[in-house]
Chain A
Amino acid sequence: MDKVIIAQNLSLSYKEFETIISKATFSIDAGSFVFITGASGSGKSTLLKSFYGAIEPRAGQLSVGGVKMNRISTSKLNFLRRHIGIVFQDYKLIKEWTIEKNVMLPLIISGYTSDVSGTPVQKLLGHVKLIHQAGKYPPELSGGEQQRVAMARALAHNPILILADEPTGNLDEYSSSVIWNLLEGANTQLKTTVVIVTHHIPEGLNVPYKHYHIEFGNIHEIA
């Protein structure tokens, strides 16, 4: 099976003499559904950041979607990011843009005009039950609604990999279920690899998943 993420002796840190992830070796199969758990400050989010190039490996090797992340060039990083969908805990929506345009962002970046991207975006907004809010701006929506917009945006460009950092951390039950359904759907129907960093794994998931746990800078798989 193809590997989407390969880490060999991967060490991550923000400062020189501080190690957050130490010599981690693991791989994530294409089309898999993966949870990464750990206590607060264990380095879950840092690890996720390394997958989209927000932090460079201090030591070891990391490859995402076949792209080596060590000393990655800006153009390669941009190319990789155009094939990744990211869901952040704090949504990271553009406040000055409408919901519809926010969802369109990855398509705009890929060079699609609004005429072309309009229909798939409308469909996605339908999936996240926000079609009637398309013309509104993020500050006008609740946290749950904003996260659903972020979810729709992550799926808009049909990415090979979805990275989600606590996607349902502070959300109501309804928004959480919409998001889990979409993540499951992307994985089962589109074979998108899904990597989720979370404090706890929800019950009643309908997809098989792998579970990695981070403790004291080490990452190990939980069977």
Chain B
Amino acid sequence: MKSLKNHISLIIALFTVLASVQIYVAVDRTIAAYETRLKDDYSVIVVANKAFIPSEFKSMSSMIERSEPISTSQVLERLKGEMSQKNLDLLRLTLPKFYRLYLNRYPSPREINELQHLLQRNPAIERVEGFTQTHDTVYKLMLLFKNVVQIFSVAIAAVTSLLILKEMRLWQFQHAERMSIMALFGAPVWLRSAVLFRLAIVDAVIATIILCLAFFVIDYYGFLIAQLKAIGISVQLFNFVDDALRSLAIALGISVALTFMIVIFSNEEG
């Protein structure tokens, strides 16, 4: 029972770390999906006094995916009744060229400013409208949330690592007698500590399985995915191959590294 309690303590600690990492990954993925959606709707408007070909824009910045001219005929059509044909022709000649630039990713406000400055350096470009004011509030909130989750994950990882370290010290005390007997018969330190490594590995695997099950439940019932779909985001919160493998690697990394630390530290003490 006592042993089970010790296992549960480590499993919960490892699960907490894995869950916080996975939440961070899921938030990151959600933001990336939202960025893709925003990117498709977003464009920068350029007003130029000469005609540009698409490759000219593309060569200005690697962010520019494609460009398309905005037709002025609609504007001129509207003015048809109010102006003479001669004036209209003159206007057509003097009217600047309008272009819509599509980007390969959704830019941050800083990137928009940089792009605006870059484009405005070209003497043929008279004006650039990046619509920074309309930069999505939801997106900004998401970025804020991502940062908060990141800080939270680091804090959780630090605190739980200390808890795991404490738990492993307890394990070490529990197995101290066995380890000292093995030492008397010349067992090298890794063999003496094999029991600790075995426990660490088993608990890391169990914590990963629990994480997979938890995200399977979230995925299965789909309440979170439905909420995200409501704001136009379609995202996979947990990838049962990549994420499970990464979680297992993290859990094993933490538990084995901390066991290693305990073993080396106690060996030096001894």
Which of A3-11, A23-31, A73-81 sits within the interface?
Answer: A73-81
Q: Is the interface of B mostly helix, strand, loop or mixed?
A: helix
Contacts of B63 in A (CB 8 A): none
Q: In the complex, which range does the number of interface residues on chain B fall in?
A: 10 to 19
Q: Of the candidates B178, B186, B189, which one forms a contact with A82 in the assembled complex, judged by CB atoms under 8 Å apart?
A: B186
Q: Are A86 and B185 in contact (CB under 8 A)?
A: yes
Q: Are B186 and A92 in contact (CB under 8 A)?
A: no
Contacts of B182 in A (CB 8 A): 94, 105, 109
Q: Of the candidates B177, B178, B187, B267, which one forms a contact with A109 in the assembled complex, judged by CB atoms under 8 Å apart?
A: B187
Q: Of the candidates A78, A93, A96, which one forms a contact with B186 in the assembled complex, judged by CB atoms under 8 Å apart?
A: A78
A106 to B183, CA, bound (A): 10
Q: A94-B178, A96-B178 are in contact. Are A105 and B186 (CB under 8 A)?
A: no
Contacts of B267 in A (CB 8 A): 74
**A86's closest neighbor in chain B, by CB?**
B184
A74 to B268, CA, bound (A): 11
Interface string of A80-97 (1 = CB under 8 A from B): 111110100000111111
A105 to B267, CA, bound (A): 21
A83 to B185, CA, bound (A): 8
Q: Of the candidates A81, A96, A108, which one forms a contact with B184 in the assembled complex, judged by CB atoms under 8 Å apart?
A: A81
A180 interfacial by beta-carbon distance below 8 Å: no
Contacts of B123 in A (CB 8 A): none
Q: Of the candidates B177, B185, B191, which one forms a contact with A81 in the assembled complex, judged by CB atoms under 8 Å apart?
A: B185
Contacts of A96 in B (CB 8 A): 178
Q: Are B184 and A79 in contact (CB under 8 A)?
A: no
Contacts of B185 in A (CB 8 A): 81-82, 86, 105-106, 109
Q: Of the candidates A77, A86, A97, A109, which one forms a contact with B191 in the assembled complex, judged by CB atoms under 8 Å apart?
A: A109
Q: Of the candidates B181, B187, B188, which one forms a contact with A92 in the assembled complex, judged by CB atoms under 8 Å apart?
A: B181
**B181's closest neighbor in chain A, by CB?**
A92
A137 interfacial by beta-carbon distance below 8 Å: no
- Rounded to whole Å, the gap between the CB of A169 and the closest CB of chain B is 18
Interface string of B231-270 (1 = CB under 8 A from A): 0000000000000000000000000000000000001000
A105 to B188, CA, bound (A): 13
A122 to B56, CA, bound (A): 86
- Rounded to whole Å, the gap between the CB of A152 and the closest CB of chain B is 13
- Rounded to whole Å, the gap between the CB of A144 and the closest CB of chain B is 20
A212 interfacial by beta-carbon distance below 8 Å: no
Interface string of B140-183 (1 = CB under 8 A from A): 00000000000000000000000000000000000001100111
- Rounded to whole Å, the gap between the CB of B197 and the closest CB of chain A is 16
Contacts of B187 in A (CB 8 A): 78, 109
Interface string of A21-62 (1 = CB under 8 A from B): 000000000000000000000000000000010100000000
Identify the B interface with A (CB < 8 A).
177-178, 181-189, 191, 267
Known A-B contacts: A81-B186, A86-B185, A94-B177. Give 17 more (CB < 8 A): A78-B183, A78-B187, A78-B188, A81-B184, A82-B186, A84-B186, A92-B181, A92-B184, A93-B181, A94-B181, A94-B182, A97-B178, A105-B182, A106-B185, A106-B186, A109-B185, A109-B191
Identify the A interface with B (CB < 8 A).
52, 54, 74-75, 77-84, 86, 92-97, 105-106, 108-109
